[in-house]
Amino acid sequence: MHDFAYHRPTSLAAAVRLLDDIDDASALAGGMTLVPTLKLRLAAPAALVDLGGIAALAGISVAGDCLEIAAMTTHAAVTANDHVRTRLPALAALAGRIGDPQVRNRGTIGGSVANNDPAADYPAAVLALDARVVTDRREIAAADFFRGMFATALEPGEIIAALRFPLPARAAYAKFSNPASGYAIVGVMVAQTRNGVRVAVTGAGPAVFRATDIENRLERAFRPSALDGLLIDAATLNDDLHADRAYRAHLVAVMARRAVAAAA
């Protein structure tokens, strides 16, 4: 690991200032991706701004028909939280299957969403549930936030403060995990929201995406049989040593059916 300067601000404003003022500074959330990246010298920032000391970035609350999860909330805290378990159990279940217990004890929802790993679980939930990404300076709709592999709408130095999830009528997430890493080879989140059925797929493509074919079928009938005979176009899907693109296409349909069965 290359050397870097270390800062641990106690307010969001101070963290934003540090990221603005220092050339080539990176924000550090739980570190479950960034620390391995630093160890491999795939990144060598001049400074790290650790968000772990900012009290305002922790906590889960319910406001109206929204569940708000502060960015530094760990996966373990999400999966154990009573509000999440009762009002959005699909999200509690998703968080409880990320990585392993030690990853869940350190990894954070804000870090995962900001990183937008193509095989991460949370982006599927954010997109399918039509969540809003609340940053230090604005709110971004999920549809505008994810911009492709590891790419997001975040500006340089912009920090996610919270994720705001409107509560769906019903939702579920089904994942075919890589047994070594726990990452999704294919993960599908289905949700009946106030704006209709939304289905988001992670792991299968270069970045999380909405499956409009599946949405249209489920809009007509929200049951697994609505997906009978569904063929997913494999052309744009990932193809690697874990699964070729035809297998991933097959898994998208299988996971979608399982998620609908779980939600229905």
Partner 1 sequence: MAMSNSVNVRFDLNDEALSVDVEARTLLVDLLRGQLGRTGTHVGCDTSQCGACVVLVDGRSVKSCTMLAVQAAGTCVRTIEGVSGDAALHPLQQAFREEHGLQCGFCTPGMIMSALELIDRNPDPSDRDIRHWLSGNLCRCTGYRNIVRAVRSGARAMRDG
Can you tell me the distance from the alpha carbon of 241 to that of 11, in angstroms, rounded to the nearest whole number?
Answer: 43
One residue of 11, 86, 181, 212 binding partner 1 per CB under 8 A? 181
CB nearer to partner 1: pick between 2 and 220: 2
Q: How far is the CB of 5 from partner 1 (least distance, A)?
A: 5
Rg from Cα positions in the chain: 18
Q: How far is the CB of 30 from partner 1 (least distance, A)?
A: 9
CA proximity to 57, closest of 45, 68, 65: 68
CB nearer to partner 1: pick between 180 and 235: 180
One residue of 10, 11, 39, 149 binding partner 1 per CB under 8 A? 39
CB nearer to partner 1: pick between 76 and 197: 76
Q: Annotate the chain with three-state secondary structure.
A: CCCCEEECCCCHHHHHHHHHHCCCEEEECCCCCHHHHHHCCCCCCCEEEEHHHCHHHCCEEEECCEEEEECCCEHHHHHHCHHHHHHCHHHHHHHCCCCCHHHHHHCEHHHHHHHCCCCCCHHHHHHHCCCEEEECCCEEEHHHHECCCCCECCCCCCCEEEEEEECCCEEEEEEEECCCCCCEEEEEEEEEECCEEEEEEECCCCCCEECHHHHHHHHHCCCHHHHCCCCCCCCCCCCCCCCCHHHHHHHHHHHHHHHHHHHC
CA 75 to chain centre: 11
CB atoms within 10 A of CB 156: 7
CB nearer to partner 1: pick between 29 and 190: 29
Q: How far is the CB of 2 from partner 1 (least distance, A)?
A: 7
Does residue 23 touch partner 1 according to CB under 8 A?
A: no
Piece in contact with partner 1 (CB under 8 A), picked from 132-140, 177-185, 187-195, 230-238: 177-185
Q: How far is the CB of 3 from partner 1 (least distance, A)?
A: 5
Residues 51-110 that bind partner 1 (CB under 8 A): 52, 76, 99-103, 105-106
Residues 228-247 that bind partner 1 (CB under 8 A): none
CB nearer to partner 1: pick between 8 and 87: 8
Piece in contact with partner 1 (CB under 8 A), picked from 30-38, 54-62, 126-134, 206-214: 30-38
CB nearer to partner 1: pick between 104 and 257: 104
Piece in contact with partner 1 (CB under 8 A), picked from 25-33, 156-164, 165-173, 239-247: 25-33
Q: What are phi and psi of 169, to 5 degrees?
A: -65, -45
Does residue 184 touch partner 1 according to CB under 8 A?
A: no
One residue of 13, 21, 36, 236 binding partner 1 per CB under 8 A? 36
Residues engaged in binding partner 1 (CB under 8 A)? 1-6, 8, 28, 31-32, 35-36, 38-39, 48, 50, 52, 76, 99-103, 105-106, 180-182
